Structure 1
Amino acid sequence: MKTKLLFVLLLLLAIGFGSGTASASGKPTVILDPGHGGIYSGTAGYSGNRTGYYEKHANMEVSNRLKTELEKRGFLVRMTRTTDVQFSRISSSQDLVERMKVANGMIASGNNDNTIFMSVHHNATGSPTFGGYETYYFNNNFASSAYPPSVLQRHYSPESGRLATATHRSVINSGVKEGRGIVANSLYVNRVANVPAVLLEVGYMSNPTEEAMIKQAWFQQKVAENVAKGVDDFFNVYVVNDVNGKALRQYASKTDALNYAKTVAGSYVAHKKTGVVEGATKPEPIERPLVYGIYHSGVKIANNLYGTEQEAVNEAKKWKNTRVVHTTTGAVLWSNYLPQKYVVLDGSDKEVAKYYREDDALAHGGRLPQASVIDSSTLENDIVWSNFKRKNFIVRSKDKGEMIELYNREEAREYARNWPNSELFDVWAQKVIFTNPDTAKYSYTPQNIQGKSRIETAIEVSKLLYPSGFASSKAQKTVVLATSGQYADALSAGPLAAHYGNAPILLSSAKTLTPAVEQELKRLKANRVVIVGGTVALSASVESKLKSMGMSVERLSGQTRYETNEQINAKLPAASGMFVTSGNNYPDALTAASVAVVKKWPIVLVRDGMALPNRLSTGYGKDIVIIGGTAAVPAAMETAVKREVGADGVRRLAGTTRYDTGTATIDHFSKEFISNRLIVSTGTNYPDALVSSAISARYNAPLFLVPDNSMPATLTTTLSKHSKEKLINRTYYVGGAVNPGIKTTINAMQK
């Protein structure tokens, strides 16, 4: 008993005993807990058993909005869950236990004073008329041996009360109806949190009127904005610290804090949120930039950035499946699960260095006068690159001649298997060592896919894909429908359409269903339509018309194109990577779509100044490819992604123009396009290219955007190389806007 008491006293002394104040150390952090999730759906409220909308859905929606608002105010936000999952299948009470282990584990070492915990919930009661907003916190008066609080919560209880007051007053002052008010008690999540903590009951879902309001975006946003304001108020205090950095007192007034500091020798005043020191100068340690990051293959490691490589490696060794990455260059410096399979050889094939990542090995090899890089994980130590060795295996078409030269025999043989009437020539042996048994002769046909309008062009694409309509055996007879008036909502719809059995993307006028689209739905024998965008994009009457035709209709929409994008991506299965493009313009996203449908990756839309989307901040172990320059996807967004998930998994593909960006993307993913088809559309307008991704999904074909006049050199080079290597036998010119001269140039490349 004495030992335990001593430990408690030492712990309390370490964090600042007695005052309940907090010193300003570390970045202000909010650990946000979206309440119930997964199999524990929380209350069904008034209508959940009928509608399928439960408390867990409302919790997540409010939490996501609150995260955005807090980040706007400069807070670092960690979420216990970002998807609909539970933490234990044993019981709901065990789920609480595991959830709080996760929450407390997110507190950065030494930053308890500048971290708070908030759990978002929605209430229910037996009375359908009772309602209102409530805030709960742990009060030391409720401490008991039967339900003991954590030692740290005993210390932080006064701060929990202050946090409850600040956030609750902010929400109620905004006009939100109040329920029981601020409630001091001993709820589990509050009493075991190791930082100031509150539980928010946003409203009563058992009240039908309040339940309807809870589902509304405007109400969720109002609550989120005012809770965030209350958090700001909570942190807007001045802390008086002694010479050792221990908190003595805190004040709402800077003047009062400075006056008290004058009475304590060596003390200084720091603003809790910003850390700005007032009055006497706080001794500042020499800090190195935190550019060495520790990353796990599948989860986020809290407090993962370090000033030196050795510090990062020492910490990483405590975990399995970790690597140390330079946050700027992306170089992998150490790992206990990745192999150093990329080997740099000098001109005499002597090993010079080993690397975890191909890019790092290529960078080293490129600095040597004679060097090669091999992949030591392959049976024949395949050559990845060399600046002096020749490629001795030539794949050639018997009809068109040489297609491609490769270093490695088996890679070349596999390549030749893809192309009819081709053969593999071994330069060393001076003989053909493989002949493709498919002897079909090469021929080329350009094909125009166009209608009198953008709507009819989309229909022509649908007819190309399904000339006889959907087969009766087709599992998903789905069509994706977007507005013909603007591109915003449908920018990322390509992967969604591919996921739904390569659904055609059709376009309709906004107010009424275009008759030609109605006829195409009937011709296809479709039974389901997924609308992308809200009722401004495609009205309620369009939706009603579809339902009257016997269609099952689902609408994916949000208040902005970015929220619609989130809705679309939530429908997609887990993927090995994702594309990031600007939501403010269309070319980069349309280029990404033709690759995304082949790779089965989602497209994440971003804009300057927005918070890091959840899908990016949780993209551990995935490839994240940014399409477009820094004017499209800001450098700050790229830096944030790299620090969050590891710079080795993040790549930017960009050029000086939309056409250069397109060719950079297609060149990088060239191996994905094992297809003898091309798709070409105008790069100066969006509708034709928007509906072309379904052709890419069908034929593994890239989409080339072209200008209205002459083609730039980079586009000509990539098109020419692609045409030579892939034996293009058909080019689909989608829409009537492709310049006839450009068609002539592209067709000539295939001869």
Structure 2
Amino acid sequence: MKKKLLFVLLLLLAIGMGAGTASAAGKPTVILDPGHGGTYGGTAGYSGNRTGYYEKHANLEVSLKLKSELEKRGFTVLMTRTNDAQFSRISSGQDLVERMKVANGMIASGNNDNTVFISVHHNATSSPTYGGYETYYFNNNYASSSYPPSTLQRHYSPESGRLAIKTHNAVINSGVKEGRGVIANSLYVTRTANMPSVLLEVGYMSNPTEEAMIKQSWFQQKIASNVAKGVDDFFDVYVVNDKNGRALKHYTSKTDAQNYSKTISGSYVTYKKTGEVDGAAKPDPEPVDRPLVYGIYHPSVKMKDNLFGTEQEAIAEAKKWKNTRVVHTTTGIVHWSNYLDEKFVVLDGSDKPVTRFYQEEAAIAYAGKLPEASVIDDSTLEDDIVWSNFKRKNFIVRSKDKGEMIHLYNREEARDYARNWPNSELFDVWAQKVIFTNTDKTKYSYTPQNIEGADRLKTAIAVSKLLYPNGFESSKSQKTVVLATSGQYADALSAGPLAAHYGNAPILLSRSEALSTDVEQELKRLKAKHVILVGGTSALSASVESKLKSLGMSTERLSGETRYETNEKINAKLPSSDGVFVTAGDNYPDALTAASVAVVKNWPIVLVRDGLDVPSSLKTAFGDEVVIIGGTSAVPSSLEIAVKREIGADSVTRLSGKTRYETGTEAIDYFADDFVSNRLIVSTGTNYPDALVSSAVSARYNAPLFLVPDGSMPSALTTSLTQHSTEKLINRTYYIGGAINSSIKTTVNAMQK
């Protein structure tokens, strides 16, 4: 089941951008987030691998004590998890995304000002002597277009800093050892929280002395009591607001706040801890123009004048038409539809229905506010569970050779999963017995294979020989080869889906000026009949095309004045699809990542760049899923916003990471269910030709392509590869090209054993 990434960015229509927050809207609320959980244990510290006590356990124990302390002080407290649960089985990165959907979904309507987010963690380092308590928060100085904060966190950044200082000082003043102090940074959970937020690193579990103390109830209680005091100090202020509700200044003294308020016409004072207004009733804010944030969308037709300022206006208009839905243009939440089903049902702890939603993400966000809740998809025969914060995944698919592969909620989903893998079985935790065994008894074995040549041309030939060791079969209807230049990537970025469409044609490379003897021999060995040249004569000269014709092959050239026009020519050759990838035309790693998924999904790739208009193919993608690969520095947010307004924000997803490697794993993890394969492909992320020709291998074996660096692997890449290797029985890894570090091969191979 596919999950669209849904970043819940709530718009505050009347909030100001003065110092601090606007007046309080409700009872002070604290959202506690015990970091990690489930399969993501966090650091093992000094002894976790031996004792089984990981960071996730310490995080939850401190958070539960903190909840109790905060409630004693009168705060409403919600927790993202109250047991050993994860938020996504796809990857640790996706787990953070889903975690923050739940956290942001817990904010009561209009109460962002009076809600804070605290994520509890424990640290680790390579030094066994380093230790101490640390506090992290998002600072606007660290805002990045590649890793953007939420719109609201930009506003709340000063308050996040104030919360960090108040809670940190309360803990350190109690005698707890300090580490690096209060640290401004751009961690995912703090920068995407739609309220003031901090991340606490309680101590270093890699320090054996500190780890032993961290496990003690008295120490956990000391941390909880003093963090609660710091939260109380944060809220114990008087806020001077202007007549439009914008916060101007904070005071610890009510008198000082009142005196300052007297100097500002129309201003008033609120006590942040209660939201009470001092003196005269709070004035209504001046009318403001409402942004058009609700759109009406049809699955196949452009709706004229489809944007509205309120949900009610949009729904009233949508009811006049068949097959319409109302979508928030920023959050992507579907608010109403006359053709979609509200199939996602939130159940309470007794499995009684609470409410229904059109989208899984919206249902999960709502369910996360409840102490015990589940979300089911009632369109399935057995009302499949898609999320729960208290139920266990009681069906385990395990390999008889490698052990546990995956835990799932639903019997039939687990049975279908087991059917994909030989020598596997399905274990029912409730019944304590095996309830299904795959009849294919093939024993698991693993073999790595290097596919490389002396240069990029010969590596492409080696890939061609892997795909067609005996050349094209006489019965093959399309004996086609795609030919691209070996000198530049510009024209060939979207060649992968083209090659896949033409019977999974191999992609060969040629020098611009002439066809090499090796490539000529490979074309003959394949018994190729037709060659598609990608790019103009500056990429592949007229003499190359002439040589191909002299060999008795028909040719076809796809080219335009720019790489973007060439991309349009390529996509015009492809059949209609139910989705499209969008990636930057000047960022080859993202495009090559998209290609390995596109050939499996049978989706085209649309190349874009900053300054170009939204391509017409995206303006008409009404019923399609649009997946953007890459951050906002590669594919500008202005284009994303424009596409969302054209076709509906619920149809648009962006997948990106801090690096090209993390972006790659985000795409693979998101589409993990499409890669039902016992093969793995690895190629370099620093040189485009090897990865370019690898997409044909993805198409042949339904396998993902992992791009790797020259040096050590980033943690996100390691996590994704580990997860993929656990949940699939990989019996062959193809290492494409000779530029892959031997230590990386060793690491990947070890994951399969």
Give TM class, smaller chain. 0.5 to 0.7
The one-letter code sitting in structure 2 at the alignment partner of 1:554 is E
Cα offsets for 1:477-532 (capped at 9, x unmatched) = 00000000011111011000000000000000001111111110000000000011
Specify the alignment match of 1:536 in structure 2.
538
CA separation in 2, counterparts of 1:699 and 1:368? 43
2:432 to 430, 433, 442: 430
Within-5 A mapping of 1:35-50: none
Distance apart, 1:369 and its partner CA:
2.6
CA separation in 2, counterparts of 1:731 and 1:625? 27
Within-5 A mapping of 1:546-585: 546-585=548-587
Aligned partner of residue 334 in structure 1, secondary structure: strand
1:645 to 644, 647, 653: 647
Distance apart, 1:366 and its partner CA:
2.5
Specify the alignment match of 2:589 in structure 1.
587
Asked if 1:525 corresponds to 2:521, the answer is no
Equivalent residues, number: 468
CA separation in 1, counterparts of 2:497 and 2:372? 43
Specify the alignment match of 1:395 in structure 2.
397
Specify the alignment match of 1:689 in structure 2.
691
The one-letter code sitting in structure 2 at the alignment partner of 1:470 is F
CA separation in 2, counterparts of 1:744 and 1:737? 14
CA separation in 1, counterparts of 2:368 and 2:652? 21
Aligned partner of residue 734 in structure 2, secondary structure: strand
Distance apart, 1:286 and its partner CA:
6.1
Higher RCO (Cα < 8 Å, 6 or more apart): 2
CA separation in 2, counterparts of 1:737 and 1:351? 55
Specify the alignment match of 1:296 in structure 2.
298
Specify the alignment match of 1:443 in structure 2.
445
Specify the alignment match of 1:468 in structure 2.
470
CA separation in 2, counterparts of 1:595 and 1:347? 39
Specify the alignment match of 1:342 in structure 2.
344
Aligned partner of residue 743 in structure 1, secondary structure: helix
Distance apart, 1:349 and its partner CA:
1.6
Distance apart, 1:368 and its partner CA:
2.7
Asked if 1:706 corresponds to 2:705, the answer is no
Specify the alignment match of 1:287 in structure 2.
289
Aligned partner of residue 692 in structure 1, secondary structure: helix
CA separation in 1, counterparts of 2:470 and 2:689? 24
Distance 1:471 1:390, change over 3 A: same
Aligned partner of residue 489 in structure 1, secondary structure: coil
The one-letter code sitting in structure 2 at the alignment partner of 1:481 is L
Within-5 A mapping of 1:325-336: 325-336=327-338
Cα offsets for 1:349-372 (capped at 9, x unmatched) = 222221111121122223333221
Specify the alignment match of 2:410 in structure 1.
408
Within-5 A mapping of 1:170-185: none
1:680 to 679, 682, 688: 682
Aligned partner of residue 513 in structure 2, secondary structure: coil
Within-5 A mapping of 1:212-223: none
2:365 to 342, 359, 363: 363
Specify the alignment match of 1:618 in structure 2.
620
Aligned-residue sequence identity (percent) comes to 77
Specify the alignment match of 1:324 in structure 2.
326
Any unmatched runs of 5+ in structure 2? 1-285
The one-letter code sitting in structure 2 at the alignment partner of 1:466 is Y
Within-5 A mapping of 1:65-464: 287-464=289-466
Within-5 A mapping of 1:475-514: 475-514=477-516
The two structures, once aligned, show a CA RMSD in angstroms of 1.1
The one-letter code sitting in structure 1 at the alignment partner of 2:365 is A
CA separation in 1, counterparts of 2:346 and 2:317? 28
Aligned partner of residue 428 in structure 1, secondary structure: coil
CA separation in 1, counterparts of 2:439 and 2:366? 41
CA separation in 2, counterparts of 1:301 and 1:329? 20
Cα offsets for 1:573-632 (capped at 9, x unmatched) = 000000000101111111111110000000100000110001101000110000110001
Specify the alignment match of 1:202 in structure 2.
none
Specify the alignment match of 1:101 in structure 2.
none
Cα offsets for 1:646-679 (capped at 9, x unmatched) = 0000000111111111111111100000001000
Aligned partner of residue 436 in structure 2, secondary structure: strand
CA separation in 1, counterparts of 2:573 and 2:708? 31
Any unmatched runs of 5+ in structure 1? 1-283
Cα offsets for 1:198-235 (capped at 9, x unmatched) = xxxxxxxxxxxxxxxxxxxxxxxxxxxxxxxxxxxxxx
The one-letter code sitting in structure 2 at the alignment partner of 1:701 is A
Aligned partner of residue 398 in structure 2, secondary structure: strand
Distance apart, 1:285 and its partner CA:
10
Runs of 4 or more, structure 1, over 4 Å off, are none
The one-letter code sitting in structure 2 at the alignment partner of 1:351 is P
CA separation in 2, counterparts of 1:610 and 1:367? 42
CA separation in 2, counterparts of 1:285 and 1:727? 61
Aligned partner of residue 299 in structure 1, secondary structure: coil
CA separation in 2, counterparts of 1:541 and 1:361? 60
Cα offsets for 1:679-709 (capped at 9, x unmatched) = 0001111110000000000000000000111
Aligned partner of residue 503 in structure 1, secondary structure: coil
CA separation in 2, counterparts of 1:389 and 1:663? 28
The one-letter code sitting in structure 2 at the alignment partner of 1:472 is S
